[in-house]
A and B are shown apart, each in its own frame.
Chain A
Amino acid sequence: MKNWWKEPFVHFILLGALLFATQNIWSPAAPESTDIVISKTAQDRLFGLWTLEALREPTDQDKQDIIADYVREEALVREAEALGLADGDTVVRRRLAQKMRELIEDRVDMSAPSDDELRNWFKSNQQLFATPERRTFQHIFFAGQSAEANADKIITAQSALKAQQNWQSLGDAFIEKRVYSDISIGETTRIFGRGFAESIFAEPQGQWSAPITSAFGQHLVRIAAISTGKAANFEEKRPQILSAWQEAQRRSANQAAVDDVIARYSVEVE
């Protein structure tokens, strides 16, 4: 186990305590007790820890230093506690919780699963490896945010489409593509925003749509092709499945470790 008491986070707690203390925002608070008692047992523990770290017994000078260190830290911590930092400071609390997690997490040995185990897990998590639906669409763009302002231009374009005019000669230029090939709803959202992407993935294939509004203007859209999503093949995706299984195991083991800690407490929500 790491020497957690020597970690920088401890110093930052102290540091934070001092920073706050100098800001004159709280009236000075007195610690509950101003006695710092270092019992013989406590001394033995401190010297023992030191020995573990230094791989030798502390000399008398070392012992003096160790005790001086302890007193300094204890005094600061008491001041911090008196200021309510240990209770109220979310950062400190979170850091402590995080540190505790580090101590108890990732302790599981991740041996390889049996073939059956992996297949079963895959069966109940197939959607993670499935290929999403992808679409190819063309769009005629009308710049400007209001559908009303573009109404005439849109009607003209729609008549032109009926008259079999080349769609690429209609509407305004678009800053990127006029044909998006084989893209998912996620990629469409990335370019056009969510509302537009959802409309595109609800349109039937083949005909020109009614005007659809994006963050940039209006669009007439024609879905040229739909490749429906498909389930994954276990053999083809085996390496990805194994790595996802390991990640899932790790997470659930870590969750269990935290749950074990929580189980030691009785919790009452008033």
Chain B
Amino acid sequence: MGIKSTLALSAAMPALLAACTTQDEQNGTGNIDAAPGERTSGYSEERNAYFGDLHIHTKNSFDAYIFNVRTTPEDAYRFARGETVKHPSGYDITISGPPLDFLGVTDHGAYMGILPAMDGVDERLSKLPIAKELYGTDPEVILRAFQLIGGTVRSGEAIEEIYDKEIIGQTWKNTVAAAEKYNEPGVFTTFSAYEYTSTYAPGQGSDSFAGGNLHRNVVFKGSAPDRPFSTLDSINPEDLWDWMDKQRDAGHESLAIPHNSNVSNSEMFKLATLKGQPLTKAYAEQRMRNEPIVEITQVKGTSETHPSLSPNDEWANFEIYDKLLASNIVSDTRHSYVRQAVRDGLVLQDTQGFNPFQFGFIGSSDSHVAGGSYAENNYWSKVGVVDGTAVARGSVPPGGQKTWDGVIVADNAKNWFSRWAASGLAGVWAEENTRESIFAAMRRKETFATSGPRIKLRFFGGFGFEPSLLEDPMLVKKAYANGVAMGGDLLAEGNKAPAFIAWAMRDPDAAPLQRLQIIKLWSDGKDSYEKVIDIACSDGLSPDAATGRCPDNGAGVDLSNCSITPNKGAGELRTVWRDPDYKAGQRAAYYLRALENPTCRWSTWDALTAGAKPNPALQPTLQERAWSSPIWLAPAG
């Protein structure tokens, strides 16, 4: 074997990262929440912001175990609560900032727990030739075996000899048990969950993993079925929804959260069913019943929008990642981004009377090492041993070198790892930290996403909101009473333009806020449009009348030590904004985006720590941010 084949192996390995899945069946193994009616001490009618992560993998995922991940679902919960766990590259990882409020472990349903079983745990499986190949010594053979498995996750044609439903069922049972063990109403909420890892690549065989990413995380409110419904049952997400509907009738309430639409090759939000049939009202209703929220940011990039779709949004180029998983094929952007999907949904509603894309937003990490790296200055990427060091992910030159002169960065680092992000978190507004309350918030889409910091966003829409309300100590109560919160529907009142209360509070451990923006999306009954409007600026500044943008607040970053300009930015920003361009009868959606002052990107922090120059191919700084779920405005009548 020569160098060539080894390189091929290393190149293909990262491809494995993407998957998610499971199977179906009824009957519960799960458990229930705190006794109904009892309130925990944090309960508030006006709701609290809670932060969590609903996308975490452990050793039970096929594409984690192969990269030496040995941490378990219990480890993931311990990590979220602030304890330290081991990274497969040998160092300790601890969450940045306070513990999380809620978490769901989402191992791939397809072959859940099978790779550990093949590695000596299960006698029959570990004696199979494919197990010998997978845990043998020839990288080429390992790669082939691993690709074979990944390829069948995609094709849905299981390798029968390793598709051991008993082991998958037992692994799932243990996953549910771990969630039950760590769920503590009022303190820390857990959800039984798994990933459904569908990848659509019509006409391709089982020999690779590349394709349109249609992955979803399935999150159960309380009790869970005996086994997960995975791509080995069906690769069609519409079949997953049928299964979820059936489970719901049997008492197992759940929702599915699509993610990485950015690498879906225009499949995630395409204007047709999976098989290319026209969309229908029934499709839209079933999709919304099962998928009220989407994940718009995570380690493998942000799916809000893309510069090619939003040329007038100067902040659209944020942590863009566009390679189809495990490949260097660039994903088709058209129906791959959330903003465009919300726009298309408005037009569908106008033209056909239904909207399959009326979803709220969350973020999560998709960490494959049982713990998310949410902070730029405490980053360990995603996969395991292949991107666990700064050199491996292309942020520090190899061999102790301090500059990039003459360095050729390995393809995987260049195209994949260095483009990944220290992102993101799910925010919810819920009365209390319980399954009941947080799940209800997700159902009504009163959720928001952040790129990592614990920025809190309030967003209300109504017709009676006046700027004087900002001075009112009862602002929140009155906003709920006289409007709708993020995720809600607003019905037009005559010709009145809608008004919005927009409010953001910084993370006390992160950078101050720079500006608040409204993203307005609307339909004229035929086409859709978008506009980004600065509505509040830090440092006593106001949006410029001509450009509509906040003037530069002078906040910068010193790249020699990553310090930020002191005394710039705001602890909180709030405003009431009334849409000056509203036209009666217009169907629109509005969401809020809050931007921090610029800070160093993780790759710059990595370089600083190593005493090396930052990789010139990467953006040295970024602006962390938070996104609210939209509020939809429907014409009256």
Question: Which residues of A come within 8 Å of B, CB atoms?
Answer: 2-3, 5-12, 14-15, 18-26, 69, 72-73, 88, 90-91, 94-95, 97-98, 140, 143-145, 168-173, 175-178, 181-183, 186, 189-190, 192-194, 196, 214-217
**Judging by beta carbons under 8 Å apart, are B571 and A144 in contact?**
yes
Query: Could you tell me the distance in whole angstroms from the C-beta of B440 to the nearest C-beta in chain A?
Result: 18
**Judging by beta carbons under 8 Å apart, are A192 and B508 in contact?**
yes
B42, B507, B571: which contacts A145 (Cβ < 8 A)? B571
Q: Which of B452-479 contact A (CB under 8 A)?
A: 456, 458, 470-476
List, in ascending order, chain B residues with CB within 8 A of A98's CB: 86, 90
A175: nearest chain-B partner, CB-CB:
B505
Which of the candidate stretches B305-313, B367-375, B404-412 sits at the interface with the other chain? Answer: B404-412
B388 within 8 Å of A by Cβ? yes
B609 within 8 Å of A by Cβ? no
Q: Which of B492-533 contact A (CB under 8 A)?
A: 503, 505-509, 512
**Judging by beta carbons under 8 Å apart, are A193 and B509 in contact?**
yes
Question: Knowing that A215-B507, A215-B571 are A-B contacts, what are 13 other residue pairs whose CB atoms are under 8 Å apart, sorted by A's residue number?
Answer: A6-B135, A8-B67, A12-B68, A15-B6, A18-B7, A23-B407, A23-B408, A25-B401, A91-B90, A91-B389, A95-B90, A172-B473, A216-B506
**Judging by beta carbons under 8 Å apart, are A18 and B120 in contact?**
no
A26, A97, A194, A217: which contacts B572 (Cβ < 8 A)? A217
Query: Could you tell me the distance in whole angstroms from the C-beta of A174 to the nearest C-beta in chain B?
Result: 8
Q: Chain B, 295-324, contact with A by CB distance < 8 Å: what is the 0/1 string?
A: 000000000000000000000000000000
B562 within 8 Å of A by Cβ? no
Q: Chain B, 347-370, contact with A by CB distance < 8 Å: what is the 0/1 string?
A: 000000000000000000000000
**Judging by beta carbons under 8 Å apart, are A7 and B10 in contact?**
no
Q: Chain B, 393-437, contact with A by CB distance < 8 Å: what is the 0/1 string?
A: 000011111000011101000000000000000000000000000
List, in ascending order, chain A residues with CB within 8 A of B66's CB: 8
**Judging by beta carbons under 8 Å apart, are B475 and A173 in contact?**
yes
B277 within 8 Å of A by Cβ? no
Q: Chain B, 250-287, contact with A by CB distance < 8 Å: what is the 0/1 string?
A: 00000000000000000000000000000000000000
**Judging by beta carbons under 8 Å apart, are B3 and A186 in contact?**
no
With known contacts A95-B89, A143-B572, A2–B473 Cβ distance under 8 A: no
List, in ascending order, chain B residues with CB within 8 A of A186's CB: 98
B438 within 8 Å of A by Cβ? no
**Judging by beta carbons under 8 Å apart, are A9 and B137 in contact?**
no
Q: How far is the CA of A97 from the CA of B91 in the complex (A)?
A: 11
Q: How far is the CA of A124 from the CA of B68 in the complex (A)?
A: 38
List, in ascending order, chain B residues with CB within 8 A of A24's CB: 406, 408
List, in ascending order, chain B residues with CB within 8 A of A172's CB: 470-471, 473
List, in ascending order, chain A residues with CB within 8 A of B325's CB: none
Query: Could you tell me the distance in whole angstroms from the C-beta of B381 to the nearest C-beta in chain A?
Result: 13
**Judging by beta carbons under 8 Å apart, are A177 and B48 in contact?**
yes
List, in ascending order, chain A residues with CB within 8 A of B635's CB: none
With known contacts A145-B570, A175-B503, A193-B508, A11–B98 Cβ distance under 8 A: no
Q: Chain B, 75-109, contact with A by CB distance < 8 Å: what is the 0/1 string?
A: 00000000000100111000000110000000000
Query: Could you tell me the distance in whole angstroms from the C-beta of B72 to the nearest C-beta in chain A?
Result: 13
- Return 26 A-B CB contacts under 8 Å, by A number: A3-B120, A3-B135, A7-B68, A8-B66, A8-B142, A19-B7, A19-B10, A22-B3, A23-B408, A24-B408, A91-B90, A140-B473, A143-B571, A143-B572, A168-B473, A173-B470, A173-B473, A175-B572, A176-B49, A178-B473, A189-B98, A192-B508, A194-B508, A196-B508, A216-B508, A217-B572
Q: How far is the CA of A145 from the CA of B407 in the complex (A)?
A: 46
Counting chain A CB atoms within 10 Å of each CB, which of B46, B98, B570, B572 scores highest?
B572
With known contacts A25-B401, A215-B506, A215-B571, A173–B408 Cβ distance under 8 A: no
List, in ascending order, chain B residues with CB within 8 A of A5's CB: 137
B574 within 8 Å of A by Cβ? yes
List, in ascending order, chain A residues with CB within 8 A of B136's CB: 6
**Judging by beta carbons under 8 Å apart, are B410 and A15 in contact?**
no
B139, B509, B571: which contacts A216 (Cβ < 8 A)? B571
B411: nearest chain-A partner, CB-CB:
A19
B386 within 8 Å of A by Cβ? yes
The 3 closest A-B pairs by CB, nearest first: A94-B90, A193-B508, A173-B475
How many pairs, one residue from A and one from B, have CB atoms within 8 Å of each other in the complex?
144
Counting chain B CB atoms within 10 Å of each CB, which of A9, A21, A186 scores highest?
A9
Q: How far is the CA of A140 from the CA of B49 in the complex (A)?
A: 19
**Judging by beta carbons under 8 Å apart, are B89 and A91 in contact?**
yes
Counting chain A CB atoms within 10 Å of each CB, which of B7, B67, B68 scores highest?
B68
A21, A69, A97, A177: which contacts B46 (Cβ < 8 A)? A177
B46, B139, B470, B574: which contacts A15 (Cβ < 8 A)? B139
Query: Could you tell me the distance in whole angstroms from the C-beta of B10 to the nearest C-beta in chain A?
Result: 5
**Judging by beta carbons under 8 Å apart, are A18 and B6 in contact?**
yes
List, in ascending order, chain A residues with CB within 8 A of B10's CB: 15, 18-19
List, in ascending order, chain B residues with CB within 8 A of A10's CB: 137
Query: Could you tell me the distance in whole angstroms from the C-beta of A119 to the nearest C-beta in chain B?
Result: 25
Q: How far is the CA of A8 from the CA of B388 in the complex (A)?
A: 15
Q: How far is the CA of A51 from the CA of B512 in the complex (A)?
A: 64
**Judging by beta carbons under 8 Å apart, are B49 and A2 in contact?**
no
With known contacts A6-B137, A175-B503, A20–B398 Cβ distance under 8 A: yes
With known contacts A25-B401, A176-B456, A11–B142 Cβ distance under 8 A: yes
Q: How far is the CA of A20 from the CA of B7 in the complex (A)?
A: 10
A72: nearest chain-B partner, CB-CB:
B1
**Judging by beta carbons under 8 Å apart, are A214 and B49 in contact?**
no
List, in ascending order, chain A residues with CB within 8 A of B474's CB: 168, 173
**Judging by beta carbons under 8 Å apart, are B89 and A23 in contact?**
no
**Judging by beta carbons under 8 Å apart, are B7 and A22 in contact?**
yes
Q: How far is the CA of A195 from the CA of B68 in the complex (A)?
A: 40
Q: How far is the CA of A216 from the CA of B509 in the complex (A)?
A: 11
B547 within 8 Å of A by Cβ? no
Query: Could you tell me the distance in whole angstroms from the C-beta of A99 to the nearest C-beta in chain B?
Result: 9
**Judging by beta carbons under 8 Å apart, are A23 and B398 in contact?**
yes
List, in ascending order, chain A residues with CB within 8 A of B44's CB: 176-177
List, in ascending order, chain A residues with CB within 8 A of B505's CB: 175, 216
Q: Which of B114-157 contact A (CB under 8 A)?
A: 120, 135-139, 142
Q: How far is the CA of A38 from the CA of B401 in the complex (A)?
A: 37
B41 within 8 Å of A by Cβ? yes
A20, A196, A215: which contacts B399 (Cβ < 8 A)? A20
List, in ascending order, chain A residues with CB within 8 A of B392's CB: 91
A85: nearest chain-B partner, CB-CB:
B399
Q: How far is the CA of A22 from the CA of B411 in the complex (A)?
A: 12
Q: How far is the CA of A193 from the CA of B120 in the complex (A)?
A: 47
Q: How far is the CA of A196 from the CA of B456 in the complex (A)?
A: 18
Query: Could you tell me the distance in whole angstroms from the C-beta of B469 to the nearest C-beta in chain A?
Result: 9
Query: Could you tell me the distance in whole angstroms from the C-beta of B180 to the nearest C-beta in chain A?
Result: 15
